[in-house]
Structure 1
């Protein structure tokens, strides 16, 4: 009888444990990238049988994905345990209380392995809310063959870029000197962050909410961009160009310099590219005495505040943030890692020889203001900057108006 009772008790303990279902952890990702994640998702689920990572595919437009996350949080019971975030979403989501802080779940030693710009970009008011996965940064592309043939070193300053452009254009070497993103959209704000840092200016100081758009350094930045069009170094249409318009012109061999993101390297290096093997990359130019600026982009994972499975969600984050996972993802996709060591990883460098140079770029990171009202502040900057670039307002008037409206936004 005692033996029978013991067997019954053991059965009651063991059977539920054996039949217990894995904890499901969900995350919403753009459909295109969701497909790229699949090998790592499969690997995670195989090595973590107690957790089932489920990817919910969203639209490929990042603003639509942000809207889906926002709507789910506003409804009060989001179906997502993890949040896959663009760097500029962090302040808004954190300020709204939609994310759990990660600072007490990760050690300082762990975070030192990642690019400082990526960690800073995932931080809001002293707390880390987003663990970096893949990085991104703006940089300068240049035609190494054309510069070498004409005895030029790559430019370091805005003035050198202008002088080289004018000289090679006058010689008929190239139709255009410099291409950049001047369309009224988020890319304009990202590009201008680099110009601001290069001239020693600033947009919004997050700690004090001081606005610097009407300061002389910011106005000089606007004047520089206008001068590239006025002097025919950049095409007049550049004020309507986004990344792809500028990339295509550069790849077709019609310009000497291009400001863009790392994705261009792969496309411009393809076998059918007219400039394959003829270009190189470097940090953005700047004014003498000031640092180069590389607008910090990138994506990472945070934990939804209303998740019922924070510990399981953290396991997913640590898996995707690991060196092995990032190496596998970078080798498969060509995306930029957020771990510093991987820029000199032998396997990665063998496939992407430009990564050591890319590390120099991403270490000069320039953050867009980490404030909760970032989207509104960016909209203000885009409108007035576009007005100045298209000669509807002069630079001083435009930046004074932008600064005034931004200050009014931050007070409310």
Structure 2
């Protein structure tokens, strides 16, 4: 075992000693996402910690929709409830919840230094380490290797190429009798997932990041309009109209059932696609998302990730921290990488032979994480949720053809200037 792993598991050994000395067992509650295999893996790791320490951990299921989950967290924490001790928190939610979360600095003993600095920086709010990184994400393009080979098509490097290839294969497959085939599925519901998709479109066209690092609103530009106009052209052609109500699992369904050529999703979808009962097992490839066109065009993937935090209202705070340190430690992160293709936040694990074998694409993602596009959470602070809501709702109006792109983006630009109070977030 590495020295880092030994340090990470030291708190568990301490708890074993305490339990052996007659310490009273406790029951903790952890709120986990049920997306993909998350609930199963969360429960498994929590049960393992409970057996090692003599305590009990109950897993609280939460909504898959990130916005709904955030609303639940805010309600529980704002009420001062002690009913949930540990929360699985999206990285863009950390700043919003920070005042209700326990400072882990005195407990972590520097373990966080082994994680991606970008994730640790996101966890530190006002000099307080309020969460521990659990897994890191970036948007990816999934594609059917067999279909691209069948129709002699390359993996698309631009959005224009993706649309052309998706249309070609979709039409040919339908002509062959597969009437449920679509070219491209993604997350189009008006929620945080659409913010991620739309940010990728805009950034890939050189349209900025909605709000830049200095706090300046940048969305009101021709490249942003071009990007959203492009995406609106997907709906009803290479993407079903139902995509306007798709989140991660709704888009994974048709792709994994063999009814889509391309899919935008997070890394977790790889393990599901490769499952023994998956209709597309061994038929799927993973690539970077396409770039746009024009000045500043680039490949762009929204940076994402999840962290674990302790409620400051927990009656078993010290134990809850020990649970978090175990869950975010190398043993559990490796297990999650092997069983669920969740990308570790511990840099050392990207050298692990088992992880590289199970997830061939994972090693290359280290570079992707370094260049991924971050949502403007740092610049907008506690107003990020409002900024994201305005952005996703505006984009959704354009996608659903109820607003014209130029007019919608202009209104959004004005609205964000109002929210920012002249850039003073």
Fold in common (TM above 0.5)? yes
The alpha carbon displacement at 1:395 in A equals 0.7
Could you say what the CA RMSD is over the residues aligned between the two structures, in angstroms? Answer: 3.5
Q: Structure 1 stretch 217-226 or stretch 155-164: which is displaced more?
A: 155-164
Correspondence for 1:338 among 334, 345, 357: 345
- 8 Å contact from structure 2 (residues 272, 340) kept in 1: no
Does residue 267 of structure 2 align to residue 262 of structure 1? Answer: yes
Per the alignment, do residues 104 and 248 of structure 1 end up closer, same or farther by CA in structure 2, a change over 3 Å counting? same
Deviation of the 1:64 alpha carbon: 5.5
> Is 1:347 equivalent to 2:357 in the alignment?
no
Residues 68-122 of structure 1: CA distance to partner in whole angstroms, max 9, x if unpaired? 432343234645554331223212112xx212444676577x5453345533443
Distance 1:287 1:258 in 2: 17
Provide closer, same or farther for how the CA distance between residues 387 and 59 of structure 1 changes in structure 2, counting only shifts above 3 A: closer
| CA spacing shift, 1:129–1:53, aligned 2, 3 Å | farther
Deviation of the 1:284 alpha carbon:
0.9
Contact 2:101 2:310 in 1 (8 A): yes
Q: Evaluate the alpha carbon distance shift between residue 43 and residue 171 of structure 1 in structure 2; reply closer, same or farther with a 3 A threshold.
A: closer
Q: Which residue number corresponds to residue 74 of structure 2?
A: 70
Distance 1:202 1:111, change over 3 A: farther
CA distance 1:115–1:163, change in 2 (3 Å): farther
Q: Corresponding residue for 2:323?
A: 316
Q: Secondary structure at the match of 1:285?
A: coil
How far apart, CA to CA, are the structure 1 residues paired with 2:329 and 2:277?
35
Aligned to 1:177: 183
- Local SS of the residue matching 2:233: helix
Q: In the TM superposition, what whole-angstrom CA distance separates every residue of 1:233-261 from its partner, at most 9, and x where no partner exists? A: 33344333333343233234343221122
1:385 match: 395
The 1:267–1:217 alpha-carbon spacing in structure 2 relative to 1, beyond 3 Å, is same
Q: CA deviation at 1:206?
A: 6.6
Rg comparison, structure with higher value: 1
- Are 2:96 and 1:89 equivalent residues in the alignment? no
After the TM superposition, which residues 185-196 of structure 1 pair with which residues of structure 2 at under 5 Å, given as runs? 185-196=191-202
- Structure 1 regions of 5+ residues with no counterpart? 1-15
How far does residue 132 in structure 1 lie from its aligned partner after superposition? 0.9
Distance 2:253 2:84 in 1: 38
1:212, 1:309 → 2: CA distance?
45
Taking structure 1 as reference, are residues 344 and 291 closer, same or farther at Cα in structure 2, changes over 3 Å only? farther
Which residue is 1:9 aligned to? Answer: none
More strand by share: 1
Aligned partners of 2:109, 2:20: CA distance in 1, in Å?
A: 34
Aligned to 1:200: 206
1:221 to 1:125, Cα distance in 2 relative to 1, 3 A = farther
1:395 to 405, 410, 414: 405
TM-score, length-scaled by structure 1: 0.79
Q: Which residue of 2 aligns with 1:139?
A: 140
Runs of 4+ in 1 over 6 A off after TM superposition: 16-19
Cα distance change on mapping 1:357 and 1:46 into 2, 3 Å: same
282-291 or 64-73: bigger deviation: 64-73
Count of aligned pairs between the two proteins: 391
1:291 and 1:22, CA in 2 relative to 1: closer, same or farther beyond 3 A? farther
- Kindly provide the CA deviation profile for residues 332-371 of structure 1, in whole angstroms up to 9, marking residues without a partner as x: 4443322234345222344444433555554443322213
TM-score normalized by the length of structure 2 = 0.77
Q: 1:304 to 1:144 in 2, by over 3 A?
A: same
Distance 2:154 2:353 in 1: 28
SS of corresponding position for 1:211? coil
